[in-house]
Structure 1
Amino acid sequence: MKPEHLPLLNSVSAPAVHPDGSRAVVSVTRPDFTADSYVGQLWNIPLNQEQLPRRITRGFRDTGPAFSPDGLVLAFLRTGGPSSKAQLVVVEAGGGEPQVITDRLLGVESFAWSPDSHRIVFSSREPEAGRYGSSEAITAEAEAPRLISSYQYRLNSVGYTRDKPQQLFIVDVPELGGEPLAPPAAPSLPEARQLTSLATDASSGVFSADGSAVYFVAAPPENDDDLATLVYRVPVTGGDPLPVDKGVAAPQTVSEVRQSRDGRWLFYIARDLGGSGRDFVARNAVLYCVTADGGVPVALTDPELMDVAAPGARIELRGPDHALVLNNAQGSVELLELGATGGHALLVHGDKVVTGAAWAGGSLLVVFGDPSTHGDVGVLDDGQLRLLTDFSAVLRTQTDIVVPQELTFEAPDGYPVHGWLVRPAGKGPHPVLLNIHGGPFAQFTVALFDEAQVYAAAGYAVLMCNPRGSAGYGREHGLAIKGRFGTDDMEDVLAFLDGALAKFPALDAGRLGIMGGSYGGYLTAWTIAHHHRFQGAIVERGFLDPVSFEGSADIGWYFGSEYLGSSTVGVAAQSPFEHVGIVQTPTLVIHSENDLRCPLEQGQRYFTALKRRGVEAQLLVFPGEDHELSRSGRPQHRRQRFEHILRWWARFLPTDANPADAPPE
């Protein structure tokens, strides 16, 4: 795969299954260089093998499909262009002309149907008067100043949050089968009624099983120095939201809530936060269940061994009292089914990364990635996953996808380090790139990874592992580096590198590069300060100076103190910036101007410190991008990022496919 192949990466949404179980609808989106944005439409996926999947909408970007419970209407989000905001759209499930039913200034972020199929609850950011274009007479530069009194006031990719909190709204779904106006006229939008008016974000809004109320997640109004969020319930007719007393003594941060179809149970996903309300380190997300009328919650998943917080995961319902969740598990993501009163089934596992699932009408549809697909849809038949789509066929046809080789090597203390080798074609010897993931409580997976594929196509062997500190291997594994950044984690990634070099003669031990983003940028910077064996390094969007991070990052007020501790001496001992004076490795520093997770100053100060000490260094800054550049940045920027990375490696680790004298693009 080459940088120009990015538009072949089709991403597939969680499935919307029709209530009769005969078909599903998914959105399929991809990067587009011409629009310099992400485009995509909805696809109909029949379970009947005699029928083929087909595109059923023609919008610029149509996402998030959901059938009404009666199966008559399909709702989704439509974005009209690169600079537009997503709005809620409905269309007859059998086909027809979509009808836009919202006109929110800052767009619609998510939605859910009512049980009677007549209403939709949706979330949207509500700006203060005079901000974000709510008054055409006031430009962004002329807005009033912001008076801030809370730690939590910004969020990466969102910006300021307290002056545009996410609120919940209810809108009635119009009759779609009526005769259109004659002569044609612009339809009037149904009025959306605001349901919440909170100072903080209201998220995960869903109707209760009887449709009389909406459950949602929000931070309590008094919280400022902790991470706790609660489940709230508010009547659909309006009123003050009331917290659902779950009988939990310790603070939790809740991410999802759903009521069972029979109305007897409340499922929710939460992480415990210890007595301080900030003890988030390596806390696995747990699926809890509590009776709808109160009681003591029961953990349905093991908080020490399981983590049901895979990216994009939601609670889905199956039958009257069962829930479907996704579990991070040793480089894969599994699909689990759990019953409110007992029962635990592992439905999909192995070399797959499940990204969504839904059940209706007796059919269970699953969306997943694996080593050879970026996203596809299957149906679970008699315990086996039957493939229904092949959205990565063109990618495999036009590029040489390398299937990663799973490996485990021992660290110096005997601890097993699990990961993968993506090896390029040819006999070698191949230069090696040691790639380190972010987080740190995250994981590399077995699914097709564009980064590794691009580097392999350029002639590099790519090593990726999940050292101590990563997610997916139990809480003890994740906790191992608390207060000890740069210890076991560095030993683990180097042991994985050395194990691969010893096992595979085709890997060139004399030509090594190291790279990583976010926490991976931290560990890259830390490693090159302590080992001088690498010919080059790339430090991307790094957590590099814990001291300045505290006042500038959206998570800076708690992240460093929880992971590194509060001792000045202890923090300095774990800080790459404090050790930059012993770096010798040529380093490319990559950062984004709008990164609020690891702010730009982290990269700027690190680059300047390298230059001041005579280390060969370059700083690559992307305008308009945030912490998610490599995953969801502008397509042209993503391509340019790859091109700059390959040029850097061509200087220090040239290959036949990426020669040092390659002319500029």
Structure 2
Amino acid sequence: MRAADIDKLVSVGRPTIAPDGAFAVFAASRPDLTANRAVGQLWRVDLPDGTPRRLTRGVSDTAPRLAPDGAAVAFLRADAKGKAQVFVVAAGGGEPVQATDARAGVGSFAWSPDGARLAYTARTPEQGRYGTVEGLEPIAEAPRRITGIRWHANGLGYLADRPAHVFLIDVPSVDAEPFYEPAPAVRPEGEDAPKKQLVAAEAVQLTSGAGSYGGVAFTADGSEILAAVDEIETDRRDLSSRVVALSADGGTEREVLARTALLSVDEIVVASDGTVALQASGVGEGRVDFIAPAVGLYLLEADGPRLLTDPDVLDLGEVGSHITAVGDDFLVQSRSRGTVSLVRVSRDGATASVFDGDVEVAGHAAAGERIVVAYATPDSFGELALVDRGALTDFGAPLRAQGLVLPGEREITGRDGYPIHGWVAVPAGEGPFPVILQIHGGPYASYGIHLFDETQVLVDAGYAVVYCNPRGSAGYGRAHGRSIRQAMGTVDFHDVIDFLEGVVAGDERLDGARVGVMGGSYGGYLTAWTIAHDHRFAGAIVERGFLDPVSFQGTSDIGSFFGDEYVGVDPVQMAAQSPMAVVDRVRTPTLVLHSELDYRCPLEQATRYYAALKRQGTEAEMLVFPGEDHELTRAGQPRHRVQRFDAVLQWWARHLPVTG
């Protein structure tokens, strides 16, 4: 796979299924170099064995949800101003009708049980900001008064001046006559010319105030809308959630889950019998316990939430993980050792695997006993399957035709006897090949078995790639994930080095005398830490790294709690885990990669680290991407992603040439 082949990385989003199980609808998207953005449409496939066909022809249509009667699909599409709005299209196809006209775009949305209305969340900008006053440039806006401990978020920007609120709107008819552009006409003095109407109904705002609402779900009878509330704290971070029920008639609010439950809620789902299920994690008495969180499936009952799953057995914390009600049971996604499986959970806590193996489930939907899943595999970035029948799509075929290397699974025993699980991907041939050690972000995340463009591009260029899930990673139990709490750069560092050495020693195709190391986010942290303590590497790439826990506290969007929990607050303890504190030991040539709008690991983390390397005479370069945030490698502009690959390959060609 070459860098430009990212345009063949088709991902499949969370599907939706007709109430009678007759068909499914899903969104497929991919990076497009010509458009320089992600593009994609909705697809429909008749079950059990129909041929998928495009249902819409938008630029980037996402998040489909079928109406309760299956006759129409609501989905998100950007309007003329680039803001995501809800559109509705007949389930059989046709011209979509715009349903919302939210100034800042729509976040989440849900159908009412009778299919007549849509509830949605949308940010409401403070008057005078974000284009609410025509001609008022951002640099001329009034200053922002910040009184809380949070003020911005990666990929969004400022928070407090645009809280997300809940709205309710009537669903437009997909058969109604369209609106037309008014023609110019001479009008009486003082009479304004009519403007083109965009939507059929006016939305009713149900909430107000400084808090932001998310994850809307109607109760079974449609009388209320459930939502989680996020309020910016004034003094110290509190990761717990409130869940409220809003009257669909007037927005009257009542609390159904208080912060005293000490749960951080990710999703709210209502079963057909009215049972409310939550995907949530405990935050502890201190309300900031997020390291290897105990994510579980809860039922919200009269006397409080009841946990159905064991977080040490099922790990529901994978990004995009969600709940589907199926009969009296629920479907959840559980990650383990680089895979994500689909599991059925009964209301007494019994579990049964539904879809597993060498897959990473990304989404699911069910009607009766018919279940569809979106998933990735080692040779496909995204497909849709019908459980017990098999794949319904073959989006991975073009990439397979380009040539892929399937990584080999390895488990190495570390210096202290601990098992370290990971993979090695090796070019065709006998070698010996130079080796690049890749380190994932998180830390409580993991490398998986899905097709990974980072690895494939390096292998295509002639490098063997070694990568693992050291202690601190997800998918190996909470104890594994919590083992580096206030001990970063200890056993995690040992694990990646021991895995590298073990794999190289067991494979003659790998040249242990020619090695490089690279990683992003926490991987950037551990790369910077590694090259300060181990000087075997010909070069290093430190990308979007967590490099100085001291300045991170006041600059990152998660600085109010992340560093405190992972490295502690004692200055001596923090320095003992800080790459900036040991940067003077680095002798390895280092490329620093970062993005201008990264608010997760802010740009200053990179610039200060780079400046320190240059000041002490260590060979270093820095590449900064304009307009990108922390998600550059996953969701950045396709041209920037290719340019980044070009820079990475050029760096390795100089410092770790394939030809020895």
Q: Is the TM-score greater than 0.5?
A: yes
Whether 1:337 aligns to 2:337 is no
Give me the identity figure in percent.
Answer: 49
SS of the equivalent of 1:132 reads: coil
**C-alpha distance in structure 2 between counterparts of 1:609 and 1:342, whole Å:** 54
Letter matched to residue 370 of structure 2: S
The equivalent of 2:255 in structure 1 is 243
Whether 1:424 aligns to 2:427 is yes
**C-alpha distance in structure 2 between counterparts of 1:187 and 1:249, whole Å:** 46
Instruction: Select 1:312's aligned residue among 320, 327, 350.
Output: 320
- TM-score, normalised with respect to structure 1: 0.94
SS of the equivalent of 1:641 reads: helix
Instruction: Select 1:153's aligned residue among 141, 151, 154.
Output: 151
Displacement after TM superposition at 1:64 (Å): 0.8
Change (3 A) 1:42 1:604: same
Change (3 A) 1:188 1:482: closer
Q: How does 1:199-210 map to 2 (within 5 A)?
A: 199-210=210-221
Displacement after TM superposition at 1:634 (Å): 0.5
Whether 1:573 aligns to 2:572 is no
The equivalent of 1:474 in structure 2 is 477
Q: How does 1:487-636 map to 2 (within 5 A)?
A: 487-636=490-639
The equivalent of 1:370 in structure 2 is 377
The equivalent of 1:388 in structure 2 is 392
The equivalent of 1:645 in structure 2 is 648
**C-alpha distance in structure 2 between counterparts of 1:444 and 1:323, whole Å:** 27
Q: How does 1:277-356 map to 2 (within 5 A)?
A: 277-291=287-301, 294-319=302-327, 321-356=328-363
**C-alpha distance in structure 2 between counterparts of 1:296 and 1:120, whole Å:** 28
The equivalent of 2:16 in structure 1 is 16
- Contact 1:152-1:224 at 8 Å conserved across structures: no
Change (3 A) 1:312 1:181: closer
Change (3 A) 1:231 1:523: same
Displacement after TM superposition at 1:220 (Å): 5.2
The equivalent of 1:441 in structure 2 is 444
Displacement after TM superposition at 1:181 (Å): 7.1
Letter matched to residue 267 of structure 2: E
The equivalent of 1:125 in structure 2 is 123
Displacement after TM superposition at 1:187 (Å): 4.8
**C-alpha distance in structure 1 between counterparts of 2:397 and 2:518, whole Å:** 30
**C-alpha distance in structure 2 between counterparts of 1:152 and 1:350, whole Å:** 41
**C-alpha distance in structure 1 between counterparts of 2:176 and 2:132, whole Å:** 34
**C-alpha distance in structure 1 between counterparts of 2:601 and 2:102, whole Å:** 30
**C-alpha distance in structure 1 between counterparts of 2:494 and 2:654, whole Å:** 28
Change (3 A) 1:330 1:142: same
- Contact 1:230-1:243 at 8 Å conserved across structures: yes
The equivalent of 2:245 in structure 1 is 233
Displacement after TM superposition at 1:256 (Å): 0.8
**C-alpha distance in structure 1 between counterparts of 2:303 and 2:232, whole Å:** 24
Change (3 A) 1:157 1:97: same
Q: Deviations over 1:29-63 (max 9, x none)?
A: 111111111111111112243x3111121111111
**C-alpha distance in structure 2 between counterparts of 1:554 and 1:76, whole Å:** 29
SS of the equivalent of 2:572 reads: helix
The equivalent of 1:177 in structure 2 is 175
Change (3 A) 1:304 1:52: closer
SS of the equivalent of 2:592 reads: strand
SS of the equivalent of 1:244 reads: strand
- Contact 1:250-1:274 at 8 Å conserved across structures: no
Q: Deviations over 1:229-286 (max 9, x none)?
A: 122111111234222147x8552211111122111x2210111111111121121311
Displacement after TM superposition at 1:655 (Å): 1.7
Displacement after TM superposition at 1:439 (Å): 0.5
**C-alpha distance in structure 1 between counterparts of 2:230 and 2:614, whole Å:** 44
- Contact 1:270-1:286 at 8 Å conserved across structures: yes
Letter matched to residue 646 of structure 1: L
Letter matched to residue 235 of structure 1: S
Whether 1:59 aligns to 2:67 is no
**C-alpha distance in structure 1 between counterparts of 2:425 and 2:94, whole Å:** 46
The equivalent of 2:189 in structure 1 is none
Structure 2 unmatched ranges of 5 or more: 184-195
Q: What is the RMSD computed on CA atoms of the aligned residues?
A: 1.7
Whether 1:96 aligns to 2:104 is no
The equivalent of 2:222 in structure 1 is 211
Instruction: Select 1:274's aligned residue among 284, 293, 296.
Output: 284
Change (3 A) 1:325 1:223: farther
Q: Deviations over 1:405-461 (max 9, x none)?
A: 111001100000001111111111111110000010001001111100111100111
- Contact 1:402-1:424 at 8 Å conserved across structures: yes
Change (3 A) 1:193 1:488: same
The equivalent of 1:663 in structure 2 is none
The equivalent of 2:40 in structure 1 is 40
- TM-score, normalised with respect to structure 2: 0.95
Displacement after TM superposition at 1:79 (Å): 2.0
What is the aligned residue count? 646
**C-alpha distance in structure 1 between counterparts of 2:566 and 2:142, whole Å:** 36
Q: Deviations over 1:578-611 (max 9, x none)?
A: 0001111000000000000000000000001011
Change (3 A) 1:48 1:334: closer
Displacement after TM superposition at 1:507 (Å): 0.2
**C-alpha distance in structure 1 between counterparts of 2:234 and 2:68, whole Å:** 37
